[in-house]
């Protein structure tokens, strides 16, 4: 069940209307969370508020996730993904270098001159 919030302690519902007159806040009793909806959309749901109460973070979230900021958000996601990709490649390269050094050190320490029984199994 959705309960429309018209008054709240920090006046968030009215401050959202200042950003866009179509915004309204509801409390979803099923999911036990606040949601922001817009009458401009067929399906009015815009965003679930990830905080326990309505405060300035809600305003910041709405301003950040507005449609006007779509290109900026996509660029931010792409930048983050590129950074993670670079970090993953660096970690893989470090692991490969470590394994190569480990194999080299092992081969260097052990005598590799006797290959006569290299492909035979030694039974105990």
Residue spans of the domains in the chain: they are: 2-65, 69-108
32-46 CB burial, b ≥16 within 10 A, e <16: eebbbbbeeeeebeb
Percentage of residues in the chain with pLDDT exceeding 90?
A: 63
The pLDDT tens digits for 64-79 are: 888 787 888 899 999 9
CA angle 7, 10, 16 (to 5 degrees): 70
The pTM (predicted TM-score) of the whole model is 0.60
Between 108 and 54, the more confident residue is 54
Check residue 104 and give its pLDDT: 85
- Section 79-92 average pLDDT: 96
Phi/psi at 49 (5° precision) = -80, 120
């Amino acid at each position: 069940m959705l309960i429309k919030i018209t008054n709240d302690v920090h006046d968030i519902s009215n401050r959202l209307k200042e950003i866009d007159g179509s915004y309204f806040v509801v409390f979803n009793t099923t999911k036990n969370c606040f949601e922001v909806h817009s009458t401009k959309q067929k399906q009015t749901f815009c965003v679930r508020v990830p905080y326990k109460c309505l405060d300035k973070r809600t305003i910041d979230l709405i301003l950040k996730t507005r449609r006007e900021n779509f290109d900026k958000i996509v660029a931010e996601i792409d930048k983050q993904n590129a950074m993670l990709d670079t970090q993953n490649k660096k970690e893989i390269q470090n692991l490969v270098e470590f394994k190569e050094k480990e194999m080299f050190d092992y081969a260097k320490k052990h005598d590799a001159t006797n290959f006569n029984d290299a492909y035979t199994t030694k039974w105990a």
